[in-house]
C-alpha cells in the first residue's frame, strides 16, 4: 500500500473497480432423515458461495469507533501495515510515517476520513457460508399408549431448532451475508439497518382424533 509521506494515509485509486458478483454461483443443499423405532431425526444444511458482499455495516462501526478495526491500535496514531513511501523516486518500506490521526472523531480521524469516506474495497468480502438450517427430533407415542385414551388415535411430539450454526470466511467480520440491506434490487449489501440473524427453538405436539 502506497501511503503519503507526510500524512501516512493510503492512496486511493480514483478508478472504480469490479470486485465480483453478488449472486451465488455455487449452491448446495443437504437434507437427511433417520428413523429408529419411534424416533425420527432430521437435518437440513446448505452452502452458498462464489459471490461477494459489501458490508457497509463495517463503515458505521468504524466511523463510531466501536469496531475491531478502530480499536486494534488503541485509537492512536499507527503505521499503516504493509505500506511503502516514495523516497528519491523509489518505494521503500514504511517504518516511520504514522497516520496523522488514529481517532474516530468525525472529520478529524483516520477511520471516518479514510476508511469510511470512499474506500469500499476494505469492506468487500466473500459472501460464502455453510448453514445448519434445521435440526429436528420427533417422537411418536406408541399406539398402545394412545389407544388407552379412547379419543386420540395418534400423538407426535417434536423438537426443532433453526439457524443453529453458521460458518463463514474469517474475512467476513460482520454478519450473515444472506441478509440484504433492502427487499428491493439493492442486493449484496449489509448495513446497520438490518436485524441480526437469530436462532429459533420450538416444540410442537400433533394430535390426531
| Residues paired with residue 155 on neighbouring β-strands, in sequence order | 207
How far is the C-alpha of 172 from the C-alpha of 123, rounded, in Å? 8
In a domain, 189, yes or no: yes
The residue written with cell numbers 434490487 in the block is 185
* pLDDT, position 188: 78
The domain containing residue 143 runs over which residues? 26-77+106-208
In a domain, 83, yes or no: no
Q: Which helix (H) or strand (E) holds 34?
A: strand 26-36
Structural domain total, the chain? 1
How far is the C-alpha of 66 from the C-alpha of 88, rounded, in Å? 39
Q: Are 84 and 94 in contact (CB under 8 A)?
A: yes
Per-residue cell: 56 = 457497509
In a domain, 9, yes or no: no
In a domain, 49, yes or no: yes
In a domain, 21, yes or no: no
* pLDDT, position 38: 93
In a domain, 5, yes or no: no
In a structure prediction context, what are the per-residue pLDDT tens digits for the chain, which is 209 residues long?
899 998 898 888 888 888 888 889 999 999 999 999 999 999 999 999 999 998 888 888 888 878 887 788 887 889 999 999 998 889 999 999 998 887 766 556 788 778 777 788 889 999 999 999 999 999 999 988 888 888 888 999 999 999 999 999 999 988 888 876 666 666 678 888 777 788 999 999 999 98
How far is the C-alpha of 28 from the C-alpha of 26, rounded, in Å? 7
How far is the C-alpha of 117 from the C-alpha of 112, rounded, in Å? 6
How far is the C-alpha of 189 from the C-alpha of 118, rounded, in Å? 15
* pLDDT, position 194: 77
Q: Are 111 and 63 in contact (CB under 8 A)?
A: yes
Per-residue cell: 113 = 476520513
* pLDDT, position 89: 87
In a domain, 137, yes or no: yes
What are the distances in angstroms from CA 1 to CA 54, 66, 90, 124? 21, 25, 14, 17
In a domain, 7, yes or no: no
Q: Quote the pTM value.
A: 0.77
Amino acid at each position: 500500500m502506497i501511503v503519503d509521506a507526510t500524512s501516512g494515509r493510503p492512496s486511493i485509486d480514483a478508478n472504480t473497480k469490479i470486485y465480483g458478483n453478488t449472486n451465488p454461483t455455487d449452491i448446495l443443499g443437504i437434507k437427511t432423515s433417520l428413523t429408529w423405532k419411534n424416533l425420527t431425526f432430521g437435518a437440513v444444511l446448505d452452502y452458498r458461495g462464489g459471490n461477494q458482499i459489501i458490508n457497509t455495516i463495517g463503515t458505521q462501526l468504524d466511523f463510531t469507533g466501536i469496531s475491531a478495526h478502530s480499536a486494534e491500535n488503541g485509537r492512536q496514531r499507527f503505521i499503516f501495515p504493509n505500506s511503502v513511501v516514495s523516497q528519491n523516486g523509489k518505494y521503500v518500506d514504511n517504518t516511520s510515517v504514522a497516520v496523522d490521526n488514529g481517532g474516530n472523531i468525525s472529520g478529524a480521524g483516520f477511520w471516518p476520513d479514510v476508511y469510511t469516506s470512499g474506500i469500499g474495497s476494505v469492506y468487500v468480502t466473500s459472501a460464502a457460508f455453510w448453514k445448519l438450517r434445521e435440526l429436528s427430533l420427533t417422537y411418536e407415542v406408541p399406539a398402545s399408549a394412545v389407544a388407552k385414551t379412547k379419543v386420540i388415535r395418534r400423538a407426535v411430539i417434536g423438537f426443532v431448532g433453526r439457524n443453529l450454526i453458521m460458518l463463514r470466511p474469517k474475512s467476513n467480520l460482520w454478519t450473515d451475508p444472506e441478509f440484504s440491506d433492502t427487499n428491493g434490487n439493492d442486493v449484496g449489501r449489509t448495513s446497520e439497518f438490518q436485524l441480526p440473524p437469530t436462532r429459533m427453538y420450538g416444540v410442537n405436539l400433533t394430535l390426531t382424533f
